[in-house]
Amino acid sequence: MAATIKDVARACGVHVSTVSRTFSAPHLVNPATRSRVLAAADDLGYRPNRAARALTTGRTFNMGLIVADISNPFFPPLIKAAQAQARGRDYHVFVADTDEDPRVEEELIRTLTKQVDGVLLCSPRLSNKMIERLAEDVPFVVVNRRIKGMPAVLMNVAQGARLALDHLAGLGHRRIALVSGPIGSWTSNEMQGVAAEAAGLDLVFFGPNQPTESGGLAVAPEVAACGATAVLAYNDLVALGLVEGLAAMEIGVPDQISVIGFDDILPGRLNRPKLTTVAMPAVQAGRMAVDLLLQSGGEGATVTLDTALIVRESTGRAQT
Amino acid sequence: MAATIKDVARACGVHVSTVSRTFSAPHLVNPATRSRVLAAADDLGYRPNRAARALTTGRTFNMGLIVADISNPFFPPLIKAAQAQARGRDYHVFVADTDEDPRVEEELIRTLTKQVDGVLLCSPRLSNKMIERLAEDVPFVVVNRRIKGMPAVLMNVAQGARLALDHLAGLGHRRIALVSGPIGSWTSNEMQGVAAEAAGLDLVFFGPNQPTESGGLAVAPEVAACGATAVLAYNDLVALGLVEGLAAMEIGVPDQISVIGFDDILPGRLNRPKLTTVAMPAVQAGRMAVDLLLQSGGEGATVTLDTALIVRESTGRAQT
DNA sequence: GAACCCTCGGCAACCGGTTGCAAGAACCTT
DNA sequence: AAGGTTCTTGCAACCGGTTGCCGAGGGTTC
């Protein structure tokens, strides 16, 4: 039904190769011929079939974007930004959700491999070894994880965690709960790394946890019981869950316990109390990941984006 | 680099067509041969190239999913569900965001046409005429809009709006503000349609508005000034914006004004006051849209999903 | 006016599969 | 034992483009 290169060729009496060149190597065809071809193509509504083109060129102009959980509010802005940036470069994006399951992640990458020029892996749950293995078949850019020799977009979680801890220390908090995320999460490790060096603070670790509101809800009792006056949560969802869980136990935030999240997602901004959080540059990360994928000659360039502490209403002076 | 059908054929001494059939028509090949082929394929890590296959079969096993704004919290659950359902059917999903711009939407559909078997259009902003025209080139399933003869997944907005108005009426509200969404939004029209028939109520319309928090924030003053004691908002984001805008004017929700949203998104659930809302079955819609696209022989089956009023904390008795 | 160089467009092979056709083998029938 | 089935497999064309190679034609140069 749709017009092919042959139809165009026939319509203006030239060989298909001339039509092909009109689009992929315009300088090789006579301006007069070219405009005839263009006119015919336009007339027939011809659009080159990208899949067919990919067959010979090896470039699909597609990319994959794999995230652990699309409905985690952290990802949509990143997805949106990546997708927009890709479109600007004439690329289309397959978006897939792994449900936080490494096996799904692997299978997804495998089936995607042939039809994309590269894959953006956001907060992957696969092991480094597996990722390195898969990288032999398709270029990756990893977001939120450091893997040696692999292009990555990192957010400076350590810096953010430090800012958060400093902020809490400045408010007089000494005993602070650290509510981590899922096993294998790079972000979680970074946070713990910073925490381990934090001098003069008394840190209590809780984890692993689901990186969701219910994860926060679930640990709230333990956190309340441990005697901490402040919590640094894996992300805003967990933080919101904590706030809710604490509220259910009649523990006020920030009056009795201060809570800091990570990400700066919309629900945190709208919440009462508005959540103090370490803002992650998700939009920038999405754009950057696309750029890295497309420009990288395969080199493992790593970009680290700054984070920022946004003090809102969920943190206050330590209760004495 | 990656193994092709030829490599497999060579590896086990059969013709490529036999390998091809082993995968696409297993009953046509001798069980003994088949297992040899499968062994060799497995050994070489062979995976059929879907793009190449699509060239002859005409089926790409890809679909497009076009939404107005990925970062609107209404969409991620829908996207996630659609994507999961598609994966279960061995389909991959291109997700694209139009930034609420009809021209982007059109261009996106055009470039996607050749590489997908169908497109899911969520809350499209294009005109009916244009959608019908584009439908000649690629099958559509439209979500949240009724277009004659085209498969659609609708959510029963009218029913939801009625429930919401009844609820408000039951609480003694008489003068109610209706804060609509963008021009051309089917949902908005449905709401207004219901409102128009609402007997005994005094309705004030505001619109069009951005379907976002800032849209709600922006109309808050007008709404406050119009004397309504309750608001029915286009969606939860607008409702949240309204609540915030009203709060800035020291107007309490629900004490002075009741607010109802649409969608039932996460931020609404986490908000204080927790938002009363008409829940939209986004997850179900995502799944259903995929099913409709894949099973439809092109017929315009239409599915209407029920909505439900979820009464939480943002509505209360009318102030007298 | 012959030798030379460019530009332009056709030819055909190829990318990785799929599929209609036909031929050979094995198995039945009668 | 001849003729007919049913299976299984190979052959080759085709899907929609891309691209290296070659030759025709026009323009230059000496």
Cβ contact B92–A115 (<8 Å)? yes
AA letter at A273: P
Main-chain phi, psi angles of A136, to 5 degrees: -70, -25
Antiparallel, parallel or unpaired: β B119-122 and B140-143: parallel
Q: Across the interface, do A76 and B77 touch by the CB < 8 Å criterion? A: no
Contact B308, B160 (CB under 8 A): yes
Question: Structure tokens of B4?
Answer: 């092709």
The tokens describing A52, both together, are 């067919």
Q: Is strand D less than 7 A from the beta carbon of A48?
A: yes
Note the pLDDT of residue B298: 56
Residues A46-101 pLDDT 10s: 999 999 999 999 999 999 999 999 999 999 999 999 999 999 999 999 999 999 89
Would the Cβ of A17 be found within 7 angstroms of any atom in strand C?
A: yes
Question: H helices within B45-173, ranges in order?
Answer: 50-57, 75-88, 102-113, 128-134, 157-170
Question: Which bases of chain D are under 7 A from a protein CB atom?
Answer: 7-12, 14-20
User: pTM score, two decimals?
Assistant: 0.93
| Cis-peptide, bond into residue A273, ω within 30° of zero | yes
Distance from CA of B102 to the nearest CA of A (A): 15
Q: Across the interface, which of A54, A80, A92 has its CB nearest the CB of B94?
A: A92
| Cα Rg, chain A, nearest whole Å | 25
Distance, in Å, from the CA atom of A301 to the CA atom of A231, rounded to the nearest integer, reads 34
pLDDT in tens, A112-149: 999 999 999 999 999 999 999 999 999 999 999 999 88
Phi then psi dihedrals of residue B257, to 5 deg: -135, 135
Q: Check: CB of residue B95 under 8 Å from CB of residue B83.
A: yes
For range B263-287, the mean pLDDT: 94
User: Percent of chain A having pLDDT more than 70?
Assistant: 98
Q: Which positions in chain B touch A99 (Cβ < 8 Å)?
A: 84
Q: Where does the pLDDT of residue A13 fall: very low under 50, low under 70, confident under 90, or very high at 90 and above?
A: very high
Nearest to A97 by CA among A59, A57, A124: A124
Q: CA A182 to CA A234: how far, in whole Å?
A: 9
At which residue do the structure tokens 């919101």 appear?
A240
Query: Is B289 within 8 Å of B260 (Cβ atoms)?
Result: no
Residue A28, CB, strand C, below 7 Å? yes
Pair of tokens at residue B27: 């009953």
Question: Are A62 and A117 in contact, with CB atoms under 8 Å apart?
Answer: yes
Buried b (16+ CB within 10 A) or exposed e, B150-161: bbbbbbbbbbbb
Tell me the C-alpha distance between A282 and A284, whole Å. Answer: 5
pLDDT tens, residue by residue, A249-288: 999 999 999 999 999 999 999 888 899 999 999 999 999 9
Residues 6 or more apart from A3 whose CB is under 8 A from it?
A41, A44, A45, A46, A47
pLDDT band for position A184 (cuts 50, 70, 90): confident
Which structure tokens are listed for A76? 């949509």
pLDDT in the model for residue B271: 85
Check if residue A26 sits with its Cβ under 7 angstroms from strand C: no
Q: Is the CB of A80 less than 8 angstroms away from the CB of B94?
A: no
User: Between these two residues, A273 and B232, which has the higher pLDDT value?
Assistant: B232
Q: Do B94 and A95 touch (CB under 8 A)?
A: yes
Question: Across A99-103, A292-296, B255-259, which has the greatest mean pLDDT?
Answer: B255-259
Residue range B173-186: average pLDDT? 92
How far is it, in rounded angstroms, from Cα B294 to Cα B315?
Answer: 41
Measured CA to CA, the distance from residue A16 to residue A11 in angstroms comes to 11
Q: Which of A102, A103, A60 is nearest to B62 (CA)?
A: A60
Per-residue confidence at A207, pLDDT binned at 50, 70, 90?
Answer: confident
CA distance B56 to B52: 7
Distance CA A136, CA B3 (A): 13
What was the pLDDT predicted at A297? 60
At B15, is the pLDDT very low, low, confident or very high (cuts 50, 70, 90)? very high
- The helix (run of H) or strand (run of E) holding residue A94 is strand A92-97
Using 50, 70 and 90 to split pLDDT, how confident is the model at A298? low
SS3 label, residue A64 = strand
Strand partners, B155: B305
Strand C contacts (CB < 7 A) among B residues 93-132? none
Is the separation of the CB atoms in B187 and B262 below 8 Å? yes
The model's confidence at residue B48, banded by pLDDT at 50, 70 and 90, is: very high
Burial environment of residue B284 by CB neighbours within 10 A (0 to 12, 13 to 18, 19 or more) = middle
Sheet strand arrangement including A202-206: A202-206, A175-179, A230-233, A258-263, A276-279, A308-310
Instruction: Report helix, strand or coil for A89.
Output: coil
What pLDDT is stored for residue B200 in this prediction? 86
